Structure 1
Amino acid sequence: MPHGPAEVGVGPWEGEWPTGEQYDAGLLRGGDRRNVVDRYRYWSLEAIVADLDTRRHSFHVAIENWQHDFNIGTIVRTANAFLAAEVHIVGNRRWNRRGAMVTDRYQHVRHHADVAALASYLHGLEHPVRLLGIDNLPGSLHLETMAMPERVCFLFGQEGPGLSEQAREVCDGTFSIAQFGSTRSINASAAAAIAMHSWVRLYADLSGDAAWRG
C-alpha cells in the first residue's frame, strides 16, 4: 500500500495447500497475521510450541508480582524471544499481559505462591537450577565479570522496591548491572533483557539457522 502501515504477516495461501500436521487450515484459508517468524507461518499454536520445546534454553526467568507491574508482560515477551525454559510468576496469579503481545501463548508460564516455593521447585528439578536475583545490593556479584551458571533462573523484583525481603533471603545469590549515569537503577524489563542476552552470548547456539536475525 502506498499509504498507511504495512500489513503484518501474510494473506491466504495461494495454490495447492502444503501437507503436514503443523499447518492450521484456518490460517491457510484466511491468512496468518500473527507476529511470528517466517518459519512458523501458517503453523498451529500447538505445533509452534512443540517445536520450540525441542530447542528451549536452560535458563529460567522469574518475576515477583505484588503490585501488578506493567513490566511483567514485557519481560515475558523478551523471555520468549530468547527462548527461556520457563517463566515463573511469583505472588499474585493474575498479571498484566498487555506488554506480552500474546507471546505468553508460546511460553511456558508457571505460578508460585511465594519465592520459597519457586526456590523449592527449581532446586528439586532433575537438573537443579540456581536462583539468582538482580538488584544493586551491597555484596551483589557483577554481571559483567561473574561466572554465570548455565542452569540459572533470573529473579526480578517489582519496579521501584526491587527484590522483596523474602526473595533476598531465599536467592542463591544476587548480581547487579554496571551503570555509569546519575540514576540509581534501570527499568526492570531492560535489566531482564540485559541478563538474558548475557546468557545467550555465553551458552546459546548462534550458528546456522538456530537464531532468527530477520
Structure 2
Amino acid sequence: MDQPSDLEPAHGVGPWDGPWPADPRLDPELLAHGDRRNVVDRYRYWRHEAIVADLDARRHPFHVAIENWQHDLNIGSVVRTANAFLAAQVHIVGNRRWNRRGAMVTDRYQHVRHHPTVTDLADWAAASSLPVIGIDNLPGSVPLETYALPRECVLVFGQESVGLSDAVREAAVATVAIGQYGSTRSINAGAAAAIAMHSWVRQHADVEAGHQ
C-alpha cells in the first residue's frame, strides 16, 4: 500500500494484531498495513473523516487568522499549532496560496478558510459575533499576560517583519502585546501565535483534558 504523505516511519503502530475490530471508525487499510501518521495514539487506525468528526465535536471557540501578503512561511507552523490547541478555524487573509510544509499535514484535520481582504475577515467575524483581537507589540497595545481574552474571538497575527496591517488595527477591538525582555524588536510570527493560543488555553480550556 502506498503510504499517505503524513506518515512518519519513526512513530505509529504496525498491522493490527488480534481479532479484527468491528468499530466503523477504523480504516481497514490501516489495520492491515499499520498506521504511521502524525496523530495522537487515540486516533491510531481511525479513518481520516472519523478523526475530523471527533475533533469537530470538541473544538474550542477561538479562531486564528494570519495575514499573508508575501507568502509568509510561518503559516504552516500556525496551522500546526492551531491543530494542537484545537482552534475552531484558521483564517488566511490575503494570498490564497501558502506554504504547507510547516503544517506537517495537520491541515488535513484543521479547518482553514480564506479571506481575500481584511474587510472580508472583519465582515465574517462581525456576522459571527466574534471580536477581533490583534496580536502585535504596537504603541498602545495592552499586555497579553494581563488581558482577559474573550472565550469566543479571532486572534489575528500580521505578516512576518511588518506586523499587523493598518486595516487589522482598525478592525480589532483590542491589540495585545507579548512581553519581551531582550534586544530583539519582535517575536517570530509562528512563535507569537503559539504563545497567544496557549494564553487562551490557560484562560479557557480544560487543562486536564489536554494532558490525557
TM-score bracket for the superposition, by shorter chain length = over 0.9
CA deviation after TM superposition for structure 1 residue 122, in Å: 1.3
Q: Deviations over 1:28-85 (max 9, x none)?
A: 0111000111100000110000000111001100010111111000000000000001
How far residue 6 of structure 1 moved from its aligned partner, in angstroms, is 7.3
Query: Normalization by structure 2: what TM-score?
Result: 0.93
Number of residue pairs aligned between Structure 1 and Structure 2: 205
Match in the other structure for 1:145: 146
* Percent identical: 66
- Please state if 1:35 is matched with 2:34: no
Q: Give the Å deviation of 1:118.
A: 0.7
SS in 2 for 1:211: helix
Residue of structure 1 equivalent to 2:196: 195
Gaps of 5+ in 1: none
Q: Which residue of 2 aligns with 1:13?
A: 16
TM-score, length-scaled by structure 1: 0.92
Structure 2 portions without partners, runs of 5+: 1-7
Distance 1:186 1:102 in 2: 24
Q: CA deviation at 1:124?
A: 0.8
Q: Is the 8 A contact 2:91 2:112 kept in 1?
A: yes
Task: Please list the CA deviations of residues 78-99 of structure 1 after superposition, one character each: whole Å capped at 9, or x if unmatched.
Answer: 0000000110000111110000
Residue type at the aligned position of 2:63: H
What is the rounded CA distance, in whole Å, between the counterparts of 1:103 and 1:11 in structure 2? Answer: 21
| Whole-Å separation in 2 of the counterparts to 1:41 and 1:85 | 22
Residue matched to 1:85: 88
Root mean square deviation, CA, Å: 1.3
SS in 2 for 1:110: strand
Greater mean alpha carbon deviation, residues 164-173 or residues 99-108: 164-173
Q: Which amino acid aligns with 2:41?
A: D
2:199 aligned counterpart, secondary structure:
helix
- Once residues 196 and 74 of structure 1 are traced to their aligned partners in structure 2, the CA distance between those partners, rounded to angstroms, is 13
Match of 1:121 in 2: 124
| Within-5 A mapping of 1:1-214 | 7-125=10-128, 128-207=129-208, 210-212=209-211
